[in-house]
Each structure stands twice: as structure tokens, then as C-alpha cells.
């Protein structure tokens, strides 16, 4: 039996008729760019999140870049973010002309350590980008308090945390703005690239919409130079179908995670995901920590069980950031975790028997 890390085809088969009908409607209407499907998504996702505005974009990376650019972040500025994330978080800071400033993470939730943020603030700091990683929220209250104290923007990176909650509040609703990715493997995924910005700021949303559409809110009305970052009609139509199931799929992910927790309960040498008491973890990934990580990867692969390492090199230690001159002692938690973490199969349709097969294989190493 082959057990994939994520099974997008199983998800498709469960809603095949609705997806096929939605795609066919886009084709029949030729509403490939803008159109009713994008408008429906824009309104539907804002309602799902409980915010005033949603700006559909080409992808989650664009969303991060657009928000920073429209908040006025640029040359000479600094933006603080986590040492443990995908490079999209940090590269967009550099794309704006600003300098990325990394902060170490908490030991067990992999999110930015609020206690280490303030020491990184200078008179050039303009924003903090916390990442709600793997489906677990960052500890937002102290982050927001620091931001208020120093007059900083907070941009939530929610690419892996659709419907996660912090103290009963949805992630993406606490900062000045938030960004989401709908990459196919996300908890709410398109069938291609797509992303969005959410905010309650009326002025910011207009700027973001304009910048994402070549600097215009309507054709030929270019009040600024912008970029081309549009969610296409096909992706919006797919997401409109999937949005109806996101609560159900989220509950199923939590059920799968709880089953893993039970199966691993008697294991030595395996640390299962830690969930803070104030968090609703939505398990975009189920990430274990073990000293036997590399040995496990080889063994599980030989037994047709797919795994992944998200991420094998913490951001400050990537060659792309060698110019910052960081050493291992600068981010000891992130540096240590990069050698221990392993993502094992996690998706709503994952059967209990498949989970048992995964855990039994891990027990053999």
C-alpha cells in the first residue's frame, strides 16, 4: 500500500461532480479573468473569515509583497519575521527593498518567539510578520502589544493556517492585514496558484486592489504603477466549491491528528505536535520530531510511505541569506529543529488503517 503525504485526488473524487460543473461553467462563460466566480470568492472568503475585505491575488507570495508595498515598506526599512518558514515570507521583504530581520522560534510550536522580538527592533523597523506555521497559530497577544508600543504594522502570514484560531479568534483577523495561499496542497487549495489578502482597513484594501491590477481599479485608470496579480476564474470557481467543505475537512484533520497522537502515545523518541492551550491547530502538516529523522525518511520511503521535511534549512542559514552572516548560535531553536522535524502523511481522507501502517513502520526503526 502506497501512502502519500497528501492525496489531492482523493479530495477531488469526493466532490468531483461539483468541481467539474464549476470548471465547465467558467469555460462556457469564458470568465477566465475577473468575472462572477472571482467576485463570489472575494465575498465568500471575507464572510468565512469575518473581515470586511478580501483581495484575490495570483498567489500567496504576491499577497505578502503587495501588502508590504502598500504599507509603504521600502528601501532602508527593516521587517521582523520568523527564522522557521518558507522563503516566500522573507523574500518578499527583500523584494520591497527592506532588510529582513530574523527572530528565533519557540521550541515546540515552531512559531516566532515573542520574547525575542523586542531586542531586534531598531528605528528602521516598520513591521512584524508572524507566520502561523503548520496550522498552529503564533502567540499573537504579545506580538500585537510590541507592535502597538513601537508603532509597527503586523502582517499575518496564514498560508498554512486556514481557520486556525488564537484564543477564539481566527488567525488573519488580528493584524493590520493577513495573507493566504491557496496552493493546491493547502487546507483550502486551488488547482493551481492562487492567494489573497484580507483586512478591515478601507484605505489599505483600495491600495492593494489597485496595485494588484496594474495600478488601476478600472481599465485605463492607472493612478500608479502596479503589478499583475489576479486570481483567475478557474481557481476561484474551484475554491468556491471547496469553501463549502473547509469546516468539515478541518474537523477531519483534527480527528486524524488526534488518532496519530493516540497511536504514538507509548513511543519513546518521537515527539508529536504540541498544541498550545490557547490554540486551535488545524494541522496543515503533522510534524514529528525525532533524532532518527534521516533513518526514518529512508525506511519509510522504502515502504512506500511518503514524507517531507518542512524545512530542512532554517531561513537564516540558506545561501540566499549568507550576506547576513548568521551563525548557529544566533537561532539555536530553529537550527536544532531543522535536524529533527519530519512531516508524515496528513489529509482529511487518511484512513485509520493507513495511519496504523505509518506508525507501525516508524516503530520498526
75: helix, strand or coil: coil
pLDDT at 45 over 90: yes
pLDDT at 155 over 90: yes
- In eight-state DSSP terms, residue 83 is S
The per-residue pLDDT for 7 is: 97
Q: Are strands 165-166 and 279-280 parallel, antiparallel or unpaired?
A: antiparallel
Alpha helices (H) along the chain: 8-14, 16-29, 36-49, 60-70, 87-95, 140-150, 202-212, 233-243, 246-264, 293-302, 332-337, 352-363
The per-residue pLDDT for 26 is: 97
Determine the average pLDDT of the residues in 157-177: 98
Where residue 219 falls among pLDDT bands split at 50, 70, 90? confident
pLDDT tens digits, one per residue of 245-272? 999 999 999 999 999 999 999 888 999 9
Name the one residue in this structure whose C-alpha cell is 470568492: 41
pLDDT tens digits, one per residue of 170-208? 999 999 999 999 999 999 999 999 999 999 999 999 999
- Side-chain-facing half-sphere of 330: CA atoms under 13 Å: 15
pLDDT tens digits, one per residue of 321-344? 999 999 999 999 999 999 999 999
Q: Report the 10 Å Cβ neighbour count for 276.
A: 17
- In eight-state DSSP terms, residue 160 is T
**Alpha-carbon distance 175 to 183, whole Å?**
22
The per-residue pLDDT for 365 is: 87
35: helix, strand or coil: coil
Mean pLDDT of the chain: 97
The overall pTM is greater than 0.75: yes
50 contact partners, CB below 8 Å, separation of at least 6: 170, 173
167: left (phi over 0), alpha (psi -120 to 50) or beta: left
Nearest Cα residue to 84 out of 293, 239, 270, 313: 313
The per-residue pLDDT for 208 is: 98
Burial of 148 (C-beta count, 10 Å sphere; 0-12/13-18/19+): exposed
The per-residue pLDDT for 292 is: 96
Query: ∠ at Cα 335 (332, 341), nearest 5°?
Result: 125
The per-residue pLDDT for 112 is: 98
Burial of 206 (C-beta count, 10 Å sphere; 0-12/13-18/19+): middle
24: helix, strand or coil: helix
- In eight-state DSSP terms, residue 213 is B
Amino acid at each position: 500500500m502506497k501512502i502519500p503525504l497528501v492525496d489531492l485526488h482523493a479530495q477531488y473524487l469526493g466532490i468531483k461532480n461539483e468541481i467539474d460543473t464549476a470548471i465547465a461553467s467558467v469555460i462556457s462563460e469564458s470568465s477566465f479573468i475577473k468575472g462572477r466566480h472571482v467576485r463570489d470568492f472575494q465575498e465568500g472568503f471575507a464572510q468565512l473569515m469575518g473581515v470586511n475585505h478580501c483581495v484575490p491575488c495570483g498567489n500567496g507570495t504576491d499577497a505578502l509583497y503587495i501588502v508590504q508595498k502598500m504599507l509603504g515598506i521600502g528601501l532602508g526599512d527593516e521587517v521582523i519575521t520568523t527564522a522557521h518558514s518558507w522563503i516566500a515570507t522573507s523574500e518578499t521583504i527583500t523584494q520591497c527593498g527592506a532588510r529582513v530581520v530574523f527572530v528565533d522560534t519557540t521550541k515546540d510550536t515552531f512559531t516566532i518567539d515573542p520574547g525575542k522580538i523586542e531586542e531586534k527592533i531598531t528605528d528602521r523597523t516598520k513591521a512584524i510578520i508572524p507566520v502561523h506555521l503548520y496550522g498552529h497559530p503564533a502567540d499573537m497577544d504579545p506580538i500585537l502589544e510590541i507592535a502597538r508600543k513601537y508603532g509597527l504594522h503586523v502582517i499575518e502570514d496564514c498560508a498554512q493556517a486556514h481557520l486556525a484560531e488564537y484564543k477564539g479568534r481566527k488567525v488573519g483577523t488580528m493584524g493590520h492585514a493577513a495573507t493566504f495561499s491557496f496552493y493546491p496542497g493547502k487546507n483550502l487549495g486551488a488547482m493551481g496558484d492562487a492567494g489573497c489578502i484580507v483586512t478591515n482597513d478601507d484605505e489599505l484594501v483600495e491600495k492593494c486592489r489597485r496595485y494588484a491590477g496594474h495600478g488601476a481599479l478600472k481599465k485605463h485608470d492607472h493612478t500608479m504603477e502596479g503589478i499583475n496579480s489576479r486570481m483567475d476564474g478557474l481557481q476561484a470557481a474551484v475554491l468556491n466549491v471547496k469553501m463549502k467543505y473547509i469546516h468539515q475537512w478541518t474537523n477531519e484533520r483534527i480527528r486524524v491528528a488526534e488518532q496519530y497522537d493516540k497511536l504514538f502515545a507509548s513511543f519513546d523518541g518521537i515527539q508529536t505536535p504540541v498544541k498550545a492551550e490557547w490554540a486551535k491547530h488545524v494541522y496543515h502538516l503533522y510534524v514529528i520530531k525525532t533524532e532518527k529523522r534521516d533513518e526514518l525518511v529512508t525506511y519509510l520511503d522504502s515502504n512506500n510511505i511518503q514524507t517531507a521535511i518542512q524545512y530542512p534549512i532554517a531561513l537564516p542559514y540558506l545561501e540566499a541569506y549568507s550576506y547576513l552572516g548568521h551563525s548557529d548560535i544566533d537561532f539555536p531553536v530553529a537550527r536544532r529543529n531543522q535536524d529533527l522535524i519530519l512531516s508524515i502523511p496528513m489529509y482529511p481522507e487518511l484512513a485509520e488503517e493507513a495511519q496504523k501502517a505509518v506508525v507501525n513502520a516508524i516503530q520498526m526503526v
